[in-house]
Amino acid sequence: MSGQVVLPASILDTDLYKLTMQQAVLHHFPDVQATYHFTHRDKNVFFTRECIQQFQLSISKFGDLQLSDSERVWLKATCPYFTDNYLDFLSAYRFKVDQVQVHFIPLPDDAAFGHLEIEASGSWVDTIMWEVPLMACLSEIYFRMVDTDWSYDGQEESAYRKGQTLLAAGCIFSEFGTRRRRSYHTQDIVVGGLLRAAKSTDSGKLLGTSNVHLAHKYNLMPVGTIAHEWFMGIGALKGYEHANWLALSLWEQVYPHDLLLALTDTFSTEAFYKDFIQHPEEARRWTGLRQDSGDPFVFAPRAREVYQQLGINLHDKTIIFSDALNVDKALKLKKQCDELGINASFGIGTSLTNDFKSLSSGGAAQSRALNMVIKLAAVNSRPCVKISDELTKNTGDPKTVRLVKNIFGINV
């Protein structure tokens, strides 16, 4: 597990929603400038100087990646919502490595260890592609060079057992683990194990994977729609009061028949519902809602109330759960949704692609994944914020956070 350059396996070695959002940004906001910031939430985990040097070296090689002709043909056939104009753009796209600045901040008492700052800045349509591969690359290098107290033994079998358990319970789910995977090899193993489980049972369904490259490799559907940054950017550019509704409307102009799954929690789900309830026809057209923060067991009953208030048949809608899921939580949520009469699906990430035990503990202790995010920080120099349903855990400029909370009557 020695240090070496780590690159994505392909320019498609990313989550589908980065491509779908890139097309939407290209359509609506081709000239907007953006800045992204990295946050590592666990302040007691440190990087080494050598690790970050290897990370910087890897980033310097990202510009070599490009869409192949065969990948383009596959994308056009598999994802018909991508236009020829966008596929032309993606074919010409290259990572601009000078857009990313990485700084190692050494500890005062040991300069070999420290914290990390990452900033990516440039046109939104270009910088939108950095988030997922940067985090995947950093995680892989960290677990090669800093935390090496683990092994791949049993990973494929573990994924197979998890897949079997979910499928036997009738769960419909996707693999969502690119951003915080331990390595590309881990995610490859996991997808293979899940596929083996899917072929061994007739119940439940493996919908696919968020990783576009692995979907191509394994002839799976790439899965994903929209992320918080779409709502965050539009709120900053267009104003917050009706940012949720405007974000959905602009999205639907690009995807009138596909990818209509609404993410609810950028400025809190209750703020989302205020707009959603005022536009019942749009609520009918959108196929469902995605839960990504807060208490997931509160989400489905509240969604049921909203849909019933709008006179919408619950059986026509789906809730996608994607927040820190593991198998046990998915099974409990499936049971709740069955009882409520609403469809449920699950996007499971880190607990599939970064579920390891430390070797030194004899398998008794967890080898923890990096708890990191890269978020949109500003568009056209206007700060972007995320409130979410963890109302005390806000992202972005504190003054703008207070402004947005005041607009939506959030007092926490």
One DSSP character per residue, 73-97 reads HHHHHH-TTS-HHHHHHHHH----G
Q: What are the pLDDT digits (tens) for 243-255?
A: 999 999 999 999 9
User: Token pair of 355, please?
Assistant: 């579920």
Per-residue pLDDT at 411: 85
Q: Which residue is associated with the tokens 């409990």?
A: 332
Mean pLDDT of the chain: 96
Distance separating alpha carbons of residues 174 and 261, to the nearest angstrom? 15
Confidence of residue 82 (pLDDT cuts 50, 70, 90): very high
Residue 2 has pLDDT above 60, yes or no: no
- Which residue type is seen at 133? P
Residue 1 has pLDDT above 80, yes or no: no
Per-residue pLDDT at 394: 86
Q: Is the pTM of this model over 0.85?
A: yes
Per-residue pLDDT at 289: 98
What is the set of domains in the chain, with CATH numbers?
A: 16-150+371-383 (3.20.140.10), 155-355 (3.20.140.10)
Q: Per residue in 129-151, is it b (16+ CB within 10 Å) or e — as a string? A: bbbbbbbbbbbbbbbbbbbeebe
Q: What are the pLDDT digits (tens) for 182-240?
A: 999 999 999 999 999 999 988 999 999 999 999 999 999 999 999 999 999 999 999 99
- Contact in structure between 167 and 193 (CB atoms under 8 Å): no
Distance separating alpha carbons of residues 38 and 45, to the nearest angstrom? 15
Angle (CA) 181-386-100 rounded to 5° is 55
Q: Which residues contact 128 (CB under 8 A, 6 or more apart)?
A: 18, 21, 22, 25, 34, 229
DSSP secondary structure letters along 110-150: EEEEEEEEEEEEEEHHHHTTTHHHHHHHHHHHHHHHT----
Q: Which residue is associated with the tokens 């997808």?
A: 191
Backbone angles phi, psi at 159, to 5 degrees: -65, -40
Q: What are the pLDDT digits (tens) for 260-302?
A: 999 999 999 999 999 999 999 999 999 999 999 999 999 999 9
Distance separating alpha carbons of residues 236 and 65, to the nearest angstrom? 31
Q: What are the pLDDT digits (tens) for 362-392?
A: 999 999 999 999 999 999 999 999 998 987 7
Give strand pairing partners of 321.
Answer: 291, 346
Angle (CA) 402-291-282 rounded to 5° is 90
Per-residue pLDDT at 3: 55
Residue 67 has pLDDT above 50, yes or no: yes
Q: What are the pLDDT digits (tens) for 161-175?
A: 999 999 999 999 999
